[in-house]
Amino acid sequence: MKEDFMLSCPLPKSDAERVQLAHGGGGRLMQNLIESVFVRQFENPHLIQRHDSAVFEAPPGRLALTTDSYVVKPLFFPGGDIGSLAVNGTINDLAMAGARPLHLSAAFILEEGFLLSDLHQVVESMHRAAQAARVTIVTGDTKVVDKGKGDGLFINTTGVGVLEHGLTIAPSSVQVGDAILVSGDLGRHGIAVMAAREGLDFETTIQSDCAPLAEPISALLNAGIEIHCLRDLTRGGLASALNEIASASLAKIYVEECQIPVEEEVQAACEILGFDPLYVANEGRFVAFVPERLKEKTLSLLREFPICRNASSIGYVADLKGSVVLLKNRIGTERIMDMLSGEQLPRIC
Amino acid sequence: MKEDFMLSCPLPKSDAERVQLAHGGGGRLMQNLIESVFVRQFENPHLIQRHDSAVFEAPPGRLALTTDSYVVKPLFFPGGDIGSLAVNGTINDLAMAGARPLHLSAAFILEEGFLLSDLHQVVESMHRAAQAARVTIVTGDTKVVDKGKGDGLFINTTGVGVLEHGLTIAPSSVQVGDAILVSGDLGRHGIAVMAAREGLDFETTIQSDCAPLAEPISALLNAGIEIHCLRDLTRGGLASALNEIASASLAKIYVEECQIPVEEEVQAACEILGFDPLYVANEGRFVAFVPERLKEKTLSLLREFPICRNASSIGYVADLKGSVVLLKNRIGTERIMDMLSGEQLPRIC
């Protein structure tokens, strides 16, 4: 009986396999952690210098700077983990400014007792994501907080990118008549994380759409598409992104619900859970505002990338004195697609 | 009796005065928080654009990138708070690469229930520190974690600076014969935070040395001082900084204990608490490795800044095949000043 019980329990991990407070203390244990986990995975000439700052030559052009902390719960979910999310999320924020991502910093807040094997796995995942997007993780930081004062692992990544074009890609460039495109089907990331968190089983496993978006944006820019505005559809989903742009540009935006791609399995999961897919977070989707005449060309360029194969035109900018998003639903009636006050899903990224 | 009890208790704060999970959800509450706290304090053209990335023209020169997360406990301490620390700490990492700090990002991880008035105070303190150091906080991020999964407030700042000189300021530039200078007296920050955390009362209140160091470094560079290496003396103090440099440059370093400035009150507090001031964290102190012939000029340039008025020469580089730090103590005997395995003081920055 006792043996059965012991067999069914995971073996307790020793202190040596867990993060200790001393790993954050600036002493030898911290140096060992940095060498054995971070420098080994992210190996590059900047990190090997072991200086607090990374120094690099910036290519000519304007630069973009963006930061995000990642507190997603759970750390591992179908289609990704906090590591791939932390790299792709920040790369995507750079891409949304029309910047080519160059370098990332990575800062870790570890909770005492966190499994070093999980840290290894996350760091490996960051390394793979960075390689895939051809960015370098050039500098970092490690802090440890006492048990019960964190939640395993929080990661901050901050990215620097270069703008190699003359456009101002921002809400202030939105124009009357702009076509509004969405780069793919919505709601995967939020539902994947929520299902993993709550231990929900759907008929098929919904995978997060977590992916880097710099390449499709770069393809549009290289083809001379005059992009007016871009935004990735993270926390708060499509509805929040459009409302933010409407509010910053004073645009009156019309969107047709039947044009917005949502996969059946995601729609079904949303109905079960009581979520609206238009408000659910994505991590590999964006909206683009482009001149109407470039709509079809933009769509066909985007659809060449697997991550954007469901790219669709979903609406247009009616005027610049509205600051409102109007949704025409499937039966033809119109309603305001407002910003939520709070959120549907906490700690989704 | 009941009234007395109530008078002696702080009034409970309503939910409206505290951070809610929904403040991190990407919806209207988050927008309100961003507008009313962050944009209002940090006001600048980058933040007003309300785009995920800040776009800026980089001045000519190499760039430096550095990141730090701040988890100091308590958040407020004599001589500073997590806000001034988060700005000055990252500015100092840039300065240690010989970079002039330009822009910072600021990312906040808030625990549900954190007092908004405390957040206001911290953000105001960041704003003042940024203004004093002439850097702009150009982009940011806000996340909220559930109660019990954080510790009030963690801040990440990441900084970009520009190198306006041709030097390589790094351990790899350390040379035999280099003089080693320390910019001021040691141990204030660690003792100030520790005393605040533990509620200790010393005869005088020891203030943190938290301060920006970019100006004195810039003065050295402008005067043509050929700086070989710089490092700020944060976690692990002087001993860890020297050991890191010795290990990265293979230097054999000699340091004289009687030359290292430690104020009497700090020394006394260290003795009571059982700390060695050479290992205690500072947030406004650095070591500089410069050619011996420039030692006196460097010291006199540094001493013109109040924050560096106690700058002293403490040792020299004996050879480049040692990777060791040797301390000659007050009675003339020599010992290895090793790196600590863990740390004396957790969560000091």
The string of pLDDT tens digits covering residues B287-319 is: 999 999 999 999 999 999 999 999 999 999 999
Q: Which B positions 175-214 lie with beta carbon below 8 A of chain A? A: none
In tens, the pLDDT along A226-284 reads 999 999 999 999 999 999 999 999 999 999 999 999 999 999 999 998 999 999 999 99
Predicted confidence (pLDDT) at residue A8 exceeds the cutoff of 60: no
> Within a domain: residue B7?
no
Using a CB-CB cut-off of 8 Å, the residues of chain A touching B31 are 244, 339
Last residue of a domain, one of A141, A163, A185: A163
**CA A247/CA A241 separation, integer angstroms:** 10
CA dihedral A206, A208, A213, A219 (to 10 degrees): -10
Give chain B's radius of gyration (CA, Å). Answer: 22
Q: What is the pLDDT of residue B28?
A: 87
Strand B324-328, strand B252-256: pairing: parallel
Q: Is B149 on the interface with A (CB under 8 A)?
A: yes
Q: Do B52 and A28 touch (CB under 8 A)?
A: no
Here the CATH number for the domain that contains residue B248 is 3.90.650.10
Q: Which of B22, B139, B248 sits opposite A65 (nearest CB)?
A: B139
SS3 A56: strand
Structural domain containing residue A90: 21-163
Q: Do A69 and B107 touch (CB under 8 A)?
A: yes
Last residue of a domain, one of A140, A163, A186: A163
Q: What is the pLDDT of residue A310?
A: 97
Using a CB-CB cut-off of 8 Å, the residues of chain A touching B56 are 62-65
Indicate if A64 and A155 belong to the same structural domain.
Answer: yes
Indicate if A219 and A270 belong to the same structural domain.
Answer: yes
> Within a domain: residue B342?
no
Indicate if A181 and A288 belong to the same structural domain.
Answer: yes
Strand A76-77, strand A80-81: pairing: antiparallel
Cβ neighbours of residue A194 closer than 8 Å, sequence gap 6 or more:
A200, A273, A275, A345, A348
Q: Which A positions 224-263 lie with beta carbon below 8 A of chain B? A: 231-232, 234-237, 240, 244, 248
Q: Is B101 on the interface with A (CB under 8 A)?
A: no
In this structure, what are the phi and psi dihedrals at residue B324, rounded to the nearest 5 degrees? -150, 150
Indicate the pLDDT class of residue B87, thresholds 50, 70 and 90: very high
**CA B75/CA B118 separation, integer angstroms:** 9
Q: What is the pLDDT of residue B43?
A: 83
Indicate if B150 and B187 belong to the same structural domain.
Answer: no
Using a CB-CB cut-off of 8 Å, the residues of chain A touching B69 are 107-109, 141, 143, 156
Q: Do A97 and B55 touch (CB under 8 A)?
A: yes
Tokens 């290992």 identify what position? B279
Q: What is the pLDDT of residue B12?
A: 67
Contact (CB, 8 A) for B334 and B55: no
Indicate if B133 and B184 belong to the same structural domain.
Answer: no
* Angle (deg, nearest 10), helices B82-95 and B116-132: 30
Q: Do A140 and B67 touch (CB under 8 A)?
A: yes
> Within a domain: residue B50?
yes
Indicate if B153 and B240 belong to the same structural domain.
Answer: no
Indicate the pLDDT class of residue A10, thresholds 50, 70 and 90: low
Q: Do B22 and A65 touch (CB under 8 A)?
A: no
Indicate if B240 and B104 belong to the same structural domain.
Answer: no
Q: What is the pLDDT of residue B340?
A: 83
How many domains does chain B fold into? 2
Q: Do B340 and A25 touch (CB under 8 A)?
A: yes
Q: Is A64 on the interface with B (CB under 8 A)?
A: yes
Contact (CB, 8 A) for A29 and A16: no
Indicate if B144 and B188 belong to the same structural domain.
Answer: no
Here the CATH number for the domain that contains residue A138 is 3.30.1330.10
> Within a domain: residue A2?
no
Q: What is the pLDDT of residue A203?
A: 74
Give chain A's radius of gyration (CA, Å). Answer: 22
> Within a domain: residue B3?
no
SS3 A156: strand
Q: Is B324 on the interface with A (CB under 8 A)?
A: no
* Angle (deg, nearest 10), helices A188-198 and A264-273: 50
* Helical H segments across chain A, by residue range: 2-8, 28-33, 40-42, 45-48, 82-95, 116-132, 188-198, 214-222, 237-249, 264-273, 295-302
Residue A286 to residues A28, A239, A282, A336: CA-CA distances in angstroms? 44, 12, 9, 21
Indicate the pLDDT class of residue B241, thresholds 50, 70 and 90: very high
Q: What is the pLDDT of residue A51?
A: 74
Last residue of a domain, one of B137, B163, B189: B163
> Within a domain: residue A280?
yes
Indicate if B187 and B147 belong to the same structural domain.
Answer: no
Indicate if A159 and A175 belong to the same structural domain.
Answer: no
Indicate the pLDDT class of residue B3, thresholds 50, 70 and 90: very low
Indicate if B276 and B155 belong to the same structural domain.
Answer: no
Mutant choice from A108, A136, A156 vs B, greatest count of B C-beta within 10 A? A156
> Within a domain: residue A343?
no
Predicted confidence (pLDDT) at residue B343 exceeds the cutoff of 70: no
Indicate if A129 and A193 belong to the same structural domain.
Answer: no
> Within a domain: residue A233?
yes
Please state the three-class secondary structure of B198-232 as a single string.
Answer: HCCCCCCCCCCCCCCCHHHHHHHHHCCCCCCEEEE
Q: Which of A21, A58, A107 sits opposite B67 (nearest CB)?
A: A107
Closest CA to B128 of B65, B212, B45: B212
Q: Which of B20, B68, B232 sits opposite A107 (nearest CB)?
A: B68
Using a CB-CB cut-off of 8 Å, the residues of chain A touching B240 are 26-27
CA dihedral over B287, B292, B298, B303, signed as positive or negative = positive
Mean pLDDT computed over every residue of chain A = 92
Structure letter (DSSP) for residue A150 = S
